Amino acid sequence: MSIQLREVSKSFGSFQALKSLNLTIAKGEFVAILGPSGCGKTTLLRLLAGFEQPTTGEICMNETQVAKPGFSLPPEKRRIGMVFQAFALWPHMNVTEHVRFPIRHHQETPPSIRDREQDRIADVLQMVGLSEHGGRMPHELSGGQKQRVAIARAIAAEPSLLLMDEPLSSLDAMLRMDMRREIQSVHRQTGTAIVYVTHDQGEALAMADRIVVMKDGRIEQEGTPQDIYLRPQTEFVAKFVAKANLVRGRWNNGIFVPMSSDGTVQWAGPEVAPYFQACGMYPVRPDQFELCPSGTAGIRGEVTNVQFQGREYHYHIQSEDGTWEICSPLSFRRGDNVSLRLLQTSGSRQEALTR
Ligand code: ATP
């Protein structure tokens, strides 16, 4: 199912939670909605689910209008599955019963699935790795297993669209990594379009085909994970997604001279967005700086904080231009004077390397 949002706004009283959103989601696409708390992610998901009506604009599914001001096709008629942060399992039902429920009770379940209920339950439980646990009750399951049941229940009736609202945020860090792979695998096997709400940039970058970054009820930037990470178009995206340091200086014919250098430091920036060139900034990701002993040509700074992270160190470096976050495999101590150089790997080269 493809989805189109045209000029969609949503107000609660005088507060506008969504402002003139235009967004198209292709059939089978995995789209992450990424943004800080309060930017309107859940409101967008609730509009797609049919729990809220838009204040202006329209929502279409396969080019058929499902919502506009004063009209909203109810959730049970939309062929959607939903997974929430809290697993919301029913305490009196075992795993198999959770998966059976939507097959029997969703109005839109295709007869091809209803007629082969047992096979469908077995297929879905296998997809999420719970074949051995069909008889278990929720209190007999771990957090990760509960979330798998919630996913199994959501995909059981073969929805055309799967809505996921921060589905991994109540799991511990290790389990979250496992579940990312599980969700990617479910997406590959079902081919269902997924709209995945998160405030975790790592999750969005790792899983989605496309990321929609939101701020204050608007879309700030949308694109592939590589686009968003390597070619941020605004200060907000550069900071929120790539954790970039915004170095101030002067642009001249595509060459940047940092303010806190003696004028001999010059950086080329073929992929830096026009916005940054216009306001005299260069967004530098923490992994894009090379940290060198003082005396090496570069911007001068002092190490003010060090955190050992295993493969690398995370540093806070105080420069004339402010405090920057930098990661490096080289070891320095707090108080060391250092020089910073830009690693000029172009975005396209980095993309090729990460593929
Ligand atoms: P979080 O990551 O914290 O869940 P979010 O990006 O999902 O945040 P929403 O839940 O969509 O944000 O809320 C967007 C804004 O709309 C917030 O300021 C919220 O307070 C407001 N809001 C949401 N629902 C309502 C409501 N029913 N009545 C009034 N205001 C609401």
Domain edges within the chain: 3-228, 244-354
The CA-based dihedral angle spanning residues 10, 11, 16, 21, taken in that order and rounded to the nearest 10 degrees: 10
What is residue 354's predicted lDDT score, i.e. its pLDDT? 47
Contact 145, 130 (CB under 8 A): yes
Q: Whose alpha carbon is nearest atom 26 of ligand 1?
A: 12
Domain over 3-228 is classified CATH 3.40.50.300: yes
Q: Does the model's ipTM exceed the 0.95 cut?
A: yes
Q: Residue 13 CA: which ligand 1 atom is closest?
A: 29
Write out the chain's pLDDT in tens, 355 residues: 899 999 999 999 999 999 999 999 999 999 999 999 999 999 999 999 999 999 999 999 998 999 999 999 999 888 899 998 877 899 999 999 999 999 988 777 788 888 888 899 999 999 888 999 999 999 999 988 998 999 999 999 889 999 999 998 888 888 888 889 989 998 998 899 999 999 999 999 999 999 999 999 999 999 999 999 999 999 999 999 999 999 999 999 899 999 887 778 899 988 899 999 999 999 999 999 999 998 888 899 999 999 999 999 999 999 998 999 999 999 999 999 999 999 876 555 555 544 4
With 0-12 / 13-18 / 19 or more C-beta atoms within 10 angstroms meaning exposed / middle / buried, residue 209 is: middle
What is residue 347's predicted lDDT score, i.e. its pLDDT? 53
Q: Whose alpha carbon is nearest atom 5 of ligand 1?
A: 38
The CA–CA distances, whole Å, from 174 to 84, 144, 170, 300 equal: 19, 10, 12, 38
Q: Whose alpha carbon is nearest atom 31 of ligand 1?
A: 12
Q: Whose alpha carbon is nearest atom 19 of ligand 1?
A: 38
The runs of H, that is alpha helices, within the chain are 41-49, 95-105, 111-114, 117-127, 143-155, 173-190, 201-207, 225-230, 235-240, 274-278, 347-354
Domain over 244-354 is classified CATH 2.40.160.20: no
Q: Residue 44 CA: which ligand 1 atom is closest?
A: 11
Q: 41 CA to middle of ligand 1, Å? A: 8
